[in-house]
Chains A and B, each alone.
Chain A
Amino acid sequence: MTKKRFSALPGFGLTMGFTLFYLSALVLIPFVGLVIRACEISWADFWRLATSDRALASYRVTFGASLIAAVANAAFGTLLAWVLVRYDFPGRRWIDAIIDFPFALPTAVAGLTLASLFGANGWLGQFLVPLGIHGAYTPLGIVIALTFVGLPFVVRTLQPVLQSLEREVEEVAATLGAGRLRTFLTVVAPALAPSVLTGFALAFARAIGEYGSIVFISGNKPFKTEIAPYLIFMRLEEYDYAGAISLAVVLLVFSFLLLGAINLLEQWAANFEHQP
């Protein structure tokens, strides 16, 4: 019955055909091309190129900074979502509107302005640098840029969940004698946990691949502040295609593992919401 109703509309052949053609030409063929080239590299070469000292150092910088930034986003993102949903204060709507600013701002501009802000002569740097806090051309700068870039993820994942959270449950807990902190930890926090984790994973995944903003703020010093995507770029500049592709494969495999994890987390979060 439903099948018949759906096939009554025209244009399936045309739109599906165009969709598959366009998808193949612009996404699948480039993707398969990279995979074929990667398969042409011998296992020994791949291992040597993907685990050179400089490559390992770049993974450490990339994953380390991304992890710290994602943790910062989880903490401050949760706080921001909570404050925006639960409290009323002057300027609340403006902050709510500007949360997505990091998504809208080109990454190059983000890197440029953050590097300037935290540089020795910058608005913040002039106070921070004398205190020994160097926010530009250091690993800390990478963390700052990645925190900026990933900021909206946790807030935007959490906001709808917080809004739909039923206050009655908290009231019951309070009536039964639980203090506010205990209510939060035992009633509210478990309900938020899947969404916080999802937002964390999204911010982490985004941070792993980030390039534009880091280039400006990190200084790109090999072994110190060089991220993996930048090393891919350098290998390409040297026409070392095998080197670039090997690193790209490592990044891609990790991205897909994270994507799988995010899908599982989202399912978990959805189950949580549908519980009575």
Chain B
Amino acid sequence: MAAAFSSQDSEALKKSQRGTDESPFVKWTLITVALAFSAVFLLLPLLNVFGQALARGWTFYWSSLTDPDSWAAIRLTLIVAGIAVPLNVLFGLAAAWAIAKFKFRGKSILITMIDLPFSVSPVVAGLMFVVLFGLQGFFGKWLDAHDIKIIFAVPGIVLATVFVTFPFVARELIPVMQATGTEQEQAALTLGASGWQTFWHVTLPSVKWGLLYGIILCNARAMGEFGAVSVVSGHITGQTDTMPLRVEKLYNEYNVPAAFAVASLLALLALITLAIKTFLEWKQARDFRKAQEHKPDSRASGGAMDYPLSTNS
């Protein structure tokens, strides 16, 4: 209802707000404390990563990254994320479609189950896969007899990564798909489109920004996961070390500058993720404002003709 206030009210509003604001002293003290806290806990840790990574110059930085074992870790991280993220995107789309577009019993239980991995400590998540596939695990003897390696091998790392990043895409997509409703899909179906066509040309475009949002968060976690992967990886240098595990190994070998060099790539990934995320949120706010501006007009002209908002995120 706040939008209903006209401009003459806002002038009066501004005047009365002066009486409810803090004194400049209090205000600037609070701002200073907030800035100092942000500097110590956000800005300095970020700058420190790049500062330490480049402390010994670009040549050292470059040779740390191109070291065969670090290079193998970078490759493995890309492979693992390349498998885990698409799998979770597929799941997220399927789960969001079923949950947002249909009514069924037990929906809230299903949503709770999907969120489950977020409330499990990463180390416990890794432990779960060791219990299933480790040598003493449920399938351990069978796997060993058939010479299949999951724990202390790449499949285990992929499984652990899928587990910890499981809810990201689904939980972004469900509210977006719910908000867009089913009217547009029904119109497409009535006009003769097949189910797949409807999904590709109607549903997917209307949720694309929400999907992208889920993907970048899922990817950031997949590439950066440490605890769960650490439990199942076995830490075989050059084979089962992902980038975060490589950082730990270099750190434990007292090769701190090289650890920071590998870490700087992960920090860069975090910055890119943040930039895309901020852009998507800005875009969402702008689209929302646009939709709000159009709303009163449609109401004035058509009354009940309140067309469904295609909220993009």
Contact = CB atoms under 8 A, between A and B. Distances in A.
B189 A29 contact: no
Q: Which among A12, A37, A101, A229 has the highest number of chain B CB atoms within 10 Å?
A: A101
B75 interface: no
Interface in B136-194: 136-138, 159, 162-163, 166, 182, 185-186, 189
Contact of B37 (A37, A79, A101, A258): A79
12 contacts: A16-B98, A23-B95, A26-B163, A33-B132, A76-B34, A79-B30, A104-B277, A105-B224, A108-B248, A113-B267, A124-B44, A167-B13
Interface string A57-94: 00000000000000000001001101110010101000
Interface in B98-138: 98-99, 101-104, 110, 113-114, 116-117, 119-125, 127-132, 134, 136-138
Interface string A248-259: 100110011011
Q: Which among B20, B251, B260 has the highest number of chain A CB atoms within 10 Å?
A: B20
B270 A104 contact: yes
Interface of A: 2-3, 5-12, 14-16, 18-19, 22-23, 26-31, 33-34, 37, 76, 79-80, 82-84, 87, 89, 91, 95, 97-110, 112-114, 116-117, 122-124, 147-148, 151, 166-167, 170-171, 173-175, 180, 183, 205, 208-212, 215-216, 229-230, 232-233, 236, 239, 241, 244-245, 248, 251-252, 255-256, 258-259
A138 B27 CA distance: 35
B182 A6 contact: yes
* Interface size, B (range): 35 or more
A206 to B, nearest CB: 9
A251 B274 contact: no
B72 interface: no
Q: Is the interface of B mostly helix, strand, loop or mixed?
A: helix
Contacts of A212: 122, 226-227, 230, 244
A80 B37 contact: yes
A97 B195 CA distance: 39
A146 to B, nearest CB: 11
B127 A117 contact: no
A84 B91 CA distance: 36
Contacts of B95: 15, 19, 23
Nearest to A235: B127
Contacts of A211: 121-123, 226-227, 230
A255 B124 CA distance: 11
B48 interface: yes
Contacts of A255: 119-121
